[in-house]
Amino acid sequence: MTQRTITPRSRGFLFLDAHPAGCERAVEDMWSSVAGAPEAASAGDRPVALVIGSSAGYGLAATVAGLKRAGIRGIGVCFEKGPTERRTATAGWYRTAATARLAREAGSDMVFLNGDAFGDAMKDQVAHLLTERFGGRLDHLIYSVAAPRRTDPDSGTTFASVLKPIGAPHRTKTLVFGADGTPEIREVETGPAEGDDIEQTVAVMGGADWERWIERLAGRGLLAGGFTTVALSYIGSPLTAAIYRQGTIGAAKAHLEATARRLDERLGASVGGRALTSVNGAAVTQSSTAIPGIALYVGLLRGVLGDRVVPPAAQLTELWDGLTGAAGLRLDDEGRVRLDTWELGDDVQAAVADRWDRATTAGIAALADLDWFGAEVRRLYGFDVDGVDYDRPVETAVDWPAPAGPGGGVHAPAATVTT
């Protein structure tokens, strides 16, 4: 037994430990927020899905909503670190354990693999598992990966992604919190992309790995008729465009969308399938809090919309309804699924822009919902979750969920960061 009383310790928005019971309860809350499958869907054969990046952010929401709403079975791939003598496991480790339990209780056969999604070894492991455990069939693949680096399996070259504007330095407001939790508005300047920064970021965050997954699985004959794949993406506000959509990450997103168009043509011809990108709305995630200006923007957005902010699980429920035919997919003129219309309406963006212009350290509390934002950041690590007694010692040595029944005992290799 390795029980500890865990208190939150952080460096900025990064927490050093995670709370197992809080992470578990947060996943249970997400599960409870998702409506059950329509009767027609629940009575049919469960679709087989692969979620790459299943332990955090929109990938976690895709997994939970897929299990609860679409009745999926299949595989989740992520990279998380287990507990040590000095540290708890990562939050995603505990979230995955909770998701696996809920899947079992719902009667779904969902296997979670912990490893390098960029490597061919993981792709081959997934292909083997699909063949041996799931009848050699894959109906849906959700790709939700945010990573600092990727090693190309062919060349062995490791690429590193950067968050930089293109063409000129960018100065923006950003939100930080002092050691005592006091909010402060600062201005930060980020230098422009240099050398091969753009190419490196595209190599990590563009569509190359997504396409490699599809090609690898198609080569094994694993894509079912009507197979669909969706890469989760973000466009965001004009307020953050210089560092995001018009920056190096934006170049990677453009590559992702070009990859979707190419894959869509191939899949349509080969299996009557589709490839899409899904543009999701803003959310507080471990990835988004690292982007300059995003924390301020999301806090102001919540200040404008309040409870009209659409959480990731609700957005992914809509996506699954579209993929399974329970509802239509909302596509824009470029063929992208749009789940962000609640955020990017002209009236909403005008209101956020007005608050952005007026944001100062002295006045930020009246403009942004800082209590909500701070709680959302802490919830990422299992803190500030209702119903959890944080004064009580909790077991930190939680096992990675092993597959039950046929095909159990799947080995999860060592990994690099993929989610």
Looking up tokens 């995630």, which residue turns up?
285
In the numeric block, which tokens belong to residue 108?
A: 């779904």
Q: CB within 8 A of 95, min separation 6: which ones? A: 23, 24, 26, 27, 55, 56, 60
Q: Which residue stretches of 11-169 are H helix?
A: 20-33, 39-43, 57-65, 91-105, 120-133
Q: Which amino acid is at 217?
A: L
Residue of 58, 143, 234, 244 with catalytic role: 244
In the numeric block, which tokens belong to residue 260?
A: 């979707």
User: By C-alpha distance, which of 283, 301, 289, 303 is closest to 365?
Assistant: 303
Handedness of CA 373, 377, 379, 380 (dihedral sign): positive
Triad 142, 146, 151: Cα angle to 5°: 100
Quote the CA–CA distance of 6 and 19 in Å, as a whole number.
6
Q: Which amino acid is at 417?
A: V
Bridge partners (DSSP) of residue 140 are 49, 228
DSSP for 314-341 reads HHHHHHHHHHHTSS---B-TTS-EE--H
Count the neighbouring beta carbons within 10 Å of the beta carbon of residue 209: 25
Handedness of CA 391, 392, 393, 395 (dihedral sign): negative
Q: Which amino acid is at 120?
A: D
Do 76 and 401 meet the contact criterion of CB atoms below 8 Å apart? no
Quote the CA–CA distance of 398 and 343 in Å, as a whole number.
38
Q: CB within 8 A of 86, min separation 6: which ones? A: none
Q: In whole angstroms, what separates CA 186 from the centre of its chain?
A: 27
Q: CB within 8 A of 52, min separation 6: which ones? A: 59, 77, 117, 141, 142, 143, 144, 145, 213, 418
Residue 47's alpha-carbon distances to 90, 98, 275, in angstroms, are 29, 21, 17
Q: Does the annotation count 94 as an active-site position?
A: no
Do 97 and 397 meet the contact criterion of CB atoms below 8 Å apart? no
Positions marked active-site: 244
